[in-house]
Amino acid sequence: MKRAFVVGYPIAHSRSPLIHGFWLKELGIQGSYERIAVEPAAFETFVTTLADRGFVGGNVTVPHKEAAFRLASVDDPVARDLEAANTLWFEAGKLKGMNTDVAGFLANLDQEAPGWGDSLRRAVVLGAGGASRAILHGLIQRGAGEILLINRTVERAEALARHFGQKVKALAWDQAEAALEGADLLVNTTSLGMKDQPPLELDLSRLPRSALVTDIVYVPLETPLLAAARRAGLATVDGLGMLLHQAVPGFERWFGARPEVTPQLRALVLADI
Ligand code: ATR
Distance from the alpha carbon of residue 173 to the mean position of ligand 1, in angstroms? 12
Has this prediction a pTM greater than 0.90?
yes
- Residue whose CA is closest, atom 16 of ligand 1? 152
- Residue whose CA is closest, atom 21 of ligand 1? 190
The third-level CATH classification (topology) of the domain covering 103-239 is Rossmann fold (3.40.50)
Write down the domain spans for the chain.
2-100+247-270, 103-239
CB neighbours of residue 111 within 10 Å: 14
Chain segment 205-217, per-residue pLDDT in tens: 999 999 999 999 9
* Residue positions annotated with a catalytic role: 65
ipTM of this predicted structure: 0.97
Residue 269's pLDDT band (cuts 50, 70, 90): very high
φ, ψ of residue 24 to 5 degrees: the values are: -60, -45
Contact between 89 and 57 under an 8 Å Cβ cutoff? The reply is yes
Give CA separation, 249 vs 44, 88, 101, 273, in Å: 23, 10, 10, 23
Q: Which pLDDT score is estimated for 127? A: 98
Within this chain, domains 2-100+247-270 and 103-239 share the same CATH topology: yes
Characterize 167-186 residue by residue with b for buried, 16 or more Cβ atoms within 10 angstroms of its Cβ, and e for exposed: bbbbbeeeebbebbeebbbb
> Does 198 sit in the ligand 1 pocket, CB within 6 Å?
yes
Looking at 3.30.420.40, 3.30.420.10, 3.40.50.10860, 3.10.150.10, the CATH number of the domain 2-100+247-270 comes to: 3.40.50.10860
Chain segment 211-267, per-residue pLDDT in tens: 999 999 999 999 999 999 999 999 999 999 999 999 999 999 999 999 999 999 999
Q: Is 121 a known ligand-binding residue?
A: no
